[in-house]
Amino acid sequence: MKHKHKLRQAIDSLYSCGQVTTEEVYTRLVLECARAGDVEEARRLESHMLLHSYQPANTFLENRLLHLFAKAGKLSYARNLFDKMPKRDIYSWNAMLSAYAKSGSIENLKAVFNQMPSRDSVSYNTVIAGFAGNSFSHEALEVFLRMQEDGFEPTDYTHVSALNACAQSLDLRRGKQIHGKIVASNLGGNAFVWNALTDMYAKCGEIDKARWLFSRMNNKNAVSWNLMISGYLRNGQPGKCIDLFREMQVLGFRPDEVTVSNVLSAYFQIGCIDEAEKLFCVIREKDKVCWTTMIVGYAQHGKEEDALRLFGDMLLENVRPDCFTVSSVVSSCAKLASLHHGQVVHGKAIILGVDDDLQVSSALVDMYCKCGVTNDAWIIFNMMPARNVVSWNSMINGYAQNGLDLEALDLYEKMLMENLKPDSFTFVAVLCACIHSCLFEHGQKYFNSISEIHGLTPSLGHYACMVNLLGRSGQMKEAVDLIKRMPHEPNSLIWSTLLSVCALKGDIKHGEMAARFLFELEPLNAGPYIMLSNMYAAGGKWEEVASIRSLMKNNNAKKFAAYSWIEIDNKVHKFVSEDRTHPDTNLIYEELRRLVKKVQEAGFTPNTKWVLHDVREEEKFESICYHSEKLALAFGLIRRPRGVTPIKIMKNIRVCGDCHVFMKFVSKIIGCPIILRDSNRFHHFEGGNCSCKDYW
Ligand code: ZN
Ligand code: ZN
């Protein structure tokens, strides 16, 4: 600081004296600027020199300034000076190359390289490193070849850049050639070269070869350890990654933030969340990457609440999250369908200035849709400065899931008009919209367009949508034919779709067929047994009901634990069927009995066909009254803040038919809209109707 101050004083006095300054004084000052890395003073000095039409041109001085500007990434200063230079030598050209390489200005880098009157090995090295450093690996390797053709010997520095380019483009063949050359030329004693080789082999999938090189390195540094640890992670061997981490510590190497975030990822990949937490707690200096790895890890393991908590801690510790962190936290809010948390994170995103980011705003669109607030999603979608297929998919899918099917299809047509290429996810959303609205012909048209117009192969997900659509429109035979014709082996998704649609239509014949396949594919899943048994029960086929029940018992099939949750006062309250663990249990059951009485007076009859057991009617009635979504609704009605509507309930599996009718009645009787998000879609209940039009 003191040094810079003196420098400024010196240059100021130069300005004021107005005398002809000697070359020696300029040289001294320029060298001082370079030593202090003071770009702005150098720039002042340069203009001073030009002002006094300093003659004759001192290429040495100008090159020093040029290098200083290039090093500081001051591209415009460098270009200005370069253009004005009366005489340029190879150093001037190399300085310009370095300025463009540093700023990632690849087109200019190419142009200057081609214009150069002559080149030396520094020119080649600068260009190769510039290309490799900016992910232009193909160009980097081309210049690497040209360098040798032009008779220049690559140095260690050249090899490192070329190996980086091979690693980026996964060009193992070229990487091996370079390795051979290094061995033959007796170069490569340098740790950087060994590291680049290790990294190249690890990235190209030859992890054992990388490990062999690593074990022979006698001057390993922290970078070597990190490369090997991330190599194992990349090659899907998180266990080895953790072993190496332990070895590293035993040998006395200090792990840095890069090591820690890789090891955290490794723990999450093998599900050792406790271990990850322990490691995370002991690191004192946590950087953004460590925090983000931990937050994303939680989110990926269904620990959304922990992800949210940690995000709060991260902000308290004054660590600035990036777009990746924020978008994964927004996705956690979407999974929880927690509008409150989603809005808080949205606010943080605005403060952090990342709400305009493509990834973040797409996640926000998805979050608002998953919370049932499509209006807010639409506002964000409209304000996005740029949109990609993910953003469009979020909005189209959001509309489809919220029963705004025509809006979804409309938006899809707009997407095509903007010349965006739909992907597999887009078509799932579009077909879902057609299913909900029973737009059979539209669905068929969109399905055909997947391969015929967009050149994609329809996936099992798309076929399942078509089976659903055909079945719902009463073309069960065509649905079964489609399954037989499709190029994929039918999986449980296809059969369970067929089974559900058979249950909807009461088609026992095809339902039995679908169920048989499911018993084979997923013998432990109780869902298909229950569904088929319900179909038999509805038809009064009690013998078949009994035989399915014993089959289910013999196969030891387990019911998937159904639960519902509701957010009140920023807290999530979870209920299972006939739950009596909530502190407000008595109030909840009292409210629910009151509601049942009211809706019965309004003409509601509980539909007991949704109960598996062949038991007495009153018993059926009891168990169906206390389904988890009904308990959550009753709790919501007693505890929601005054006037807050709609009531929002989430359920982890599909809503049952009885609860669906019940919600419709309640929405009418108490005049309060209810939003129920089940595993399949959103149900917006209002005035006795549901947005799904009773199809889900
Ligand atoms: Zn129910
Ligand atoms: Zn519905």
What percent of the chain stands above pLDDT 70? 94
Q: Give residue 390 CA to ligand 2 midpoint distance, Å.
A: 27
Ligand nearest to the CA of 631: 1
Ligand of minimum distance to the alpha carbon of 651: 1
pLDDT of 460 higher than 90: yes
Ligand approaching nearest to the C-alpha of 689: 2
Ligand number nearest CA of 628 is 1
Torsion sign, CA atoms 463, 464, 465, 469: positive
Cα dihedral 323, 329, 330, 332 in deg (nearest 10): 150
Quick one: tokens of 6?
Answer: 């003196």
Ligand nearest to the CA of 677: 2
pLDDT given for residue 615 in this prediction: 47
Asked if the model's pLDDT at residue 15 lies above 90, the reply is no
In the reported structure, the alpha carbon of residue 437 is separated from the centroid of ligand 2 by a whole-number distance in angstroms of: 12
Task: Give the 3-state secondary structure of residue 650.
Answer: strand
Which pairing describes strands 682-686 and 689-690: parallel, antiparallel, or unpaired? antiparallel
- Say how many Å lie between the CA of residue 472 and the centre of ligand 1: 22
Ligand 2 centre distance from Cα of residue 692 (Å): 4
> What is the distance in A from the centroid of ligand 1 to the CA of 660?
7
pLDDT > 50? residue 4: yes
List CB contacts of 696: < 8 A, sequence separation 6 or more: 436, 654, 655, 660, 678, 680, 681, 683
pLDDT tens for residues 124-152?
Answer: 999 999 999 999 999 999 999 999 999 99
> Cα(504)–Cα(506) distance, rounded to whole angstroms?
6
CA of 470 to the centre of ligand 1 (A): 27
Domain ranges of the chain: 1-103, 411-554, 577-690
- Give the closest ligand to the alpha carbon of residue 654: 1
Nearest CA among 445, 374, 447 for reference residue 411: 374
Contacts of residues 76-80 at CB distance under 8 Å and 24 or more positions apart, as own/partner, are 77/39, 77/43, 77/46
Ligand 2 center–CA 647 separation, angstroms = 15
Ligand nearest to C-alpha 682: 2
Angle 414-415-417 (CA atoms, 0-180°, nearest 5)? 60
- pLDDT recorded at residue 146: 94
Question: 628 C-alpha to center of ligand 1: Å?
Answer: 7
d(CA 409, CA 109): 46
> If you measure from the C-alpha of residue 582 to the centroid of ligand 1, how many angstroms do you get, rounded to a whole number?
19
Distance 98 CA to ligand 1 centre (A): 68
Ligand nearest to the CA of 659: 1
Convert the pLDDT of each residue in 90-102 to its tens digit. 999 999 999 999 8
Report the separation in Å between the CA atom of 693 and the middle of ligand 2, taken as the mean of its atom positions: 6
Q: What is the mean pLDDT of the chain?
A: 88
What is the DSSP code (8-state) at residue 419? T
Whether residue 56 is predicted with pLDDT greater than 70 in this model: the reply is no
Q: How is residue 81 written in tokens?
A: 């000076």
> Cα of 566 to ligand 2 centre, how many Å?
18
Write out the H or E segment, with its range, that includes residue 202.
helix 191-203
* pLDDT average, residue stretch 246-254: 89
Higher pLDDT, 160 or 25: 160
- pLDDT for 665 equals 93
Tokens 């080649």 sit on residue? 124
pLDDT higher than threshold 80 for residue 49 = no
- Do 483 and 498 contact (CB within 8 A), yes or no? yes
pTM over 0.75: no
CB 203 within 8 A of CB 234: yes
The answer to whether 32 and 9 are in contact (CB under 8 A) is no
> What pLDDT, in 10s, does the model give residues 363-404?
999 999 998 899 999 999 999 988 999 999 999 999 998 889
Q: What is the pLDDT of residues 631-690, one digit of tens each?
A: 999 999 998 877 767 888 999 888 888 899 999 999 999 888 899 988 878 898 999 999
Q: Contact, 259 vs 245, CB < 8 A?
A: yes
Distance 660 CA to ligand 2 centre (A): 6
Order of strands, sheet of 682-686, starting from the edge strand that comes earlier in the sequence: 571-576, 563-568, 647-651, 674-677, 682-686, 689-690
Q: Are 201 and 175 in contact (CB under 8 A)?
A: yes
Ligand nearest to the CA of 626: 1
Identify the nearest ligand to the CA of 401 by its number: 2
> How far apart are the CA of 633 and the centre of ligand 2, in A?
15
Q: How far is the CA of 564 from the centre of ligand 1 (A)?
A: 10
Strand partners, 684: 675
Query: Average pLDDT in the 416-436 region?
Result: 93
Assigned superfamily of 411-554: Tetratricopeptide repeat domain (1.25.40.10)
Q: Which ligand places an atom closest to the C-alpha of 577?
A: 1
Q: Which ligand is nearest to the CA of 656?
A: 1
Task: Return the ligand number nearest the Cα of 691.
Answer: 2
Whether 446 shows a pLDDT value over 60: the answer reads yes
The verdict on whether omega for the bond into residue 646 sits within 30 degrees of 0, i.e. cis, is: yes
Backbone angles phi, psi at 690, to 5 degrees: -125, 145
Which ligand does the CA of 664 lie closest to?
A: 2
Alpha helices in 52-89 (DSSP H): 59-71, 75-84
In angstroms, what is the span from residue 677 Cα to ligand 2's centroid?
9
For the CA of 686, the nearest ligand:
2
- Span from the CA of 601 to the centroid of ligand 1 (angstroms): 19
Considering every ligand atom shown, identify the ligand nearest to the alpha carbon of residue 680 and give its number.
2
CA of 82 to the centre of ligand 1 (A): 76
- Calculate the alpha carbon distances from 32 to 18, 68, 605 in Å: 21, 11, 91
Task: Kindly give the distance from the C-alpha atom of residue 372 to the centroid of ligand 2, in angstroms, as a whole number.
Answer: 13
Residue 407 Cα to ligand 1 midpoint, Å, equals 30
Q: What would the mean pLDDT of 213-231 be, rounded to a whole number?
A: 89
Neighbours of 645 (CB within 10 A): 13
H helices of 506-538, in order, are 508-521, 526-538
